[in-house]
Structure formats: C-alpha cells, structure tokens
Amino acid sequence: MKALRILIAAAVLGGPARALAQHAHGHGADVPAPAASDAAPAALRAEVEAVRAATERYRDHANAVRDGYKRFGVEGPVMGEHWYREDLVRRPLDLSRPSTLQYATLGGRRVLVGVAYTVYRRPDQAVPEGFAGAADHWHTHDVAKMARAFVADRPLLRWVVNRRIERGKLGAGDGKTLLTMVHAWVWLDNPDGLFAQQHRALPYLRAGLPAAWAQGTGVDAAQGVALLAPGACPPEVSRTDRMARLDRRQERELTAACEGASAAVRSALSRDRSAATVNAAAAEAWTGFQAAQARILTREQVARLEQVMGAAMEPHVM
C-alpha cells in the first residue's frame, strides 16, 4: 500500500490549495522565534519554552536524520516539509518528543519552523489533552475516508482497501484510522497564531520577501506568492494529478494556467515591489488559476478532490 500512503501524503501535506482554502534565533531579523503571548496561560508559555529546548538540536537537520526522522510527502507551499518518526506517532502524546518536525527551505537550506503532534485513534476515542489552555487547534485526517475516495473508481484497489479497513489494518491498526494532529510553530512567527494549520509567511520568506507582507492577507495571496519559487508549477500540477488523475491535455492546460499565474505575479513584483501590489496580484493570479483548474477538471475529478480534501482536513471540535 505504499502508493496509497504517497497519495494520502499529497492530500494531507500538499494538496491543491483550492480545496484547502475552502483545509529567529539565528535566521535573520525578519524571522524571529515566536514567543507565547503574555496573555497566554503561564503553563502554556512554559510548555512552549520546553518544546523549544527539546527540539533545539533539530535546528541542525542532520541531527533529525540521525535520530530517525524521515520525510513524509513533499514540501507544501504553506506547510513546509513534515519529518516524522513512526514510533513516536504510535506512542502516547509527549510534548517533549514531537512525532513530527516541520522544516521549510529558506535561503537554500532546511530551517526548523515548528513541530507537530500526531495521534492515531479510533472514532470512539477522545483526543488526548494537548497544550495548556484551549488555543491548540487539533484537526483530523480520516485515513479510511481518504483511502476510499482515492480508490472509488478502481474496483480491485477498492476491494483491498475495504478489506484492510474491515480487518482494522488501515492507519495504525486496531481500527485506529483517525490521524489527529496539531501544529505548533514554535520556531517561526505565524500571522495566524502559534497553532494554525498553515503558515502563510513561508511563501514570502522563500521568495526573499518580508514575512510582514503576509499580515492581513488571505491564503490566496500566499499561494500566489508561492508561485514565485523556481519550478513551482510542476509540483503543483503533479499534486493535482495524483488525486484527480489528469489526462495529457488536462496536464498541459493546467501547466499553462499555472505558468501564466506565476508570470503575472513576477510581473507585478518587477513593476512595484510593495506589499499591496504584490499581494493583490498574487491573490488575483491564484484565484484565476483556481478558476482554470475548475474548468479543466471534470465534475468527477472535482468531486474526488473535494472528498479527499474533506477527509484530510477535518477540524476537531473540542
């Protein structure tokens, strides 16, 4: 089932943002390490500092590799890379030992920007207590739902997936098919907060733009800015292809639409290097790309994307 795990990774970590929008210590003056707000409970502030202390060594990515962390999926424009340890995913929650480290490629190197905690559970199991207070926003990836959506039009694979679900072998086994997760951006300020699911400043930093430009903007602008990255369109089209299974014509048309959107953002940046101009152009370019994608894909493909992404980004109500 390796191929299925890869597809699920694409949905969880780097799926089309059209569906998602509907889901410094030593890094330079513009990327300060965040501090828990003075208004946050003292217990939360202490926990955040403890997490930083526990993960300080992983700011050197080589240490993460030595300790057994492996990359899951690909780098998402507003998510970064997820490096995980399967043994920690399957253990009880321990804030001092995050199961996932989140890196972003900034200035040509991997920079630790946050951590994530993942807990597999059965539908009848409660989410474990996380950080102090009510600010941490857990969300759930329904692995069974995602798997069924991926193979809905593939009879043999559908039979295999259903058998694994019936035998309790999908996910972590024993019927634990809900991968419940919370992000904590403890190493890089997030305009949406410490526990936001996405980090809108990442595309700006990759493009060499001030992180402050992400303040007051929506995810559409951030996704448009992400198209400034060299070679941004092939992985964007590839992510859609993995879930929607594009034909050659669709792949060509979607690539052309993405490249046109990318060119529009580059043009705006070259004309007027200001936050207002770039954000407006980026948001327009991204929504235009979304509209093109909606025209290019069939109704069945759009429905599959919506089913997969709905299962991939279910919020958990505490």
Q: Rounded distance, CA 59 to CA 167, Å?
A: 40
Whether residues 228 and 296 share a domain: the answer is yes
What DSSP state is assigned to residue 318? -
Whether residues 154 and 255 share a domain: the answer is no
Whether residues 75 and 8 share a domain: the answer is yes
Whether residues 199 and 251 share a domain: the answer is no
The total number of structural domains in the chain stands at 2
Whether 317 is covered by a domain: the verdict is: no
Whether 278 is covered by a domain: the verdict is: yes
Write down the pLDDT at residue 14: 42
Buried b / exposed e along 151-183 (16+ C-beta atoms within 10 A):
bbeeeebeeebeebbeeeebbbeebbbbbbbbb
Q: ∠300-301-306 over CA atoms, to 5°?
A: 95
Whether 211 is covered by a domain: the verdict is: no
Whether residues 185 and 244 share a domain: the answer is no
226-235 confidence digits (pLDDT tens): 999 999 999 9
53-65 confidence digits (pLDDT tens): 999 999 999 999 9
Classify strands 80-84 and 100-106 as parallel, antiparallel or unpaired: antiparallel
Whether residues 94 and 197 share a domain: the answer is yes
Classify strands 100-106 and 139-142 as parallel, antiparallel or unpaired: unpaired
Range of the domain at 37: 2-203
Residue 48 burial by CB count (10 A; 0-12/13-18/19+): exposed, middle or buried? Answer: buried
**Of 189, 184, 193, 185, whose CA–CA distance to 39 is shortest?**
193
Residue 53 burial by CB count (10 A; 0-12/13-18/19+): exposed, middle or buried? Answer: exposed
Write down the pLDDT at residue 244: 85
The residue from 203, 229, 262 where one domain ends is 203
Name the token pair of 272: 């007027």
Chain length of the chain = 318
Write down the pLDDT at residue 171: 77
Whether residues 70 and 160 share a domain: the answer is yes
Whether 72 is covered by a domain: the verdict is: yes
Whether 210 is covered by a domain: the verdict is: no
The residue from 142, 171, 203 where one domain ends is 203
Whether 250 is covered by a domain: the verdict is: yes
Whether residues 244 and 280 share a domain: the answer is yes
List of residues 6+ apart from 315 with CB closer than 8 A: 137, 138, 139, 140
Ranges of H-type helices in the chain? 2-14, 17-21, 42-55, 61-66, 86-89, 143-150, 155-166, 202-206, 219-226, 233-244, 248-271, 275-296, 299-312
Whether 209 is covered by a domain: the verdict is: no
Whether residues 282 and 175 share a domain: the answer is no
Write down the pLDDT at residue 170: 76
**Of 158, 182, 186, whose CA–CA distance to 170 is shortest?**
158
Whether residues 116 and 191 share a domain: the answer is yes
Whether residues 69 and 185 share a domain: the answer is yes
Whether 139 is covered by a domain: the verdict is: yes
Write down the pLDDT at residue 188: 96
Q: Which residues in the chain land under pLDDT 70?
A: 1-40, 310-318
Whether residues 239 and 130 share a domain: the answer is no
Name the token pair of 69: 């962390």
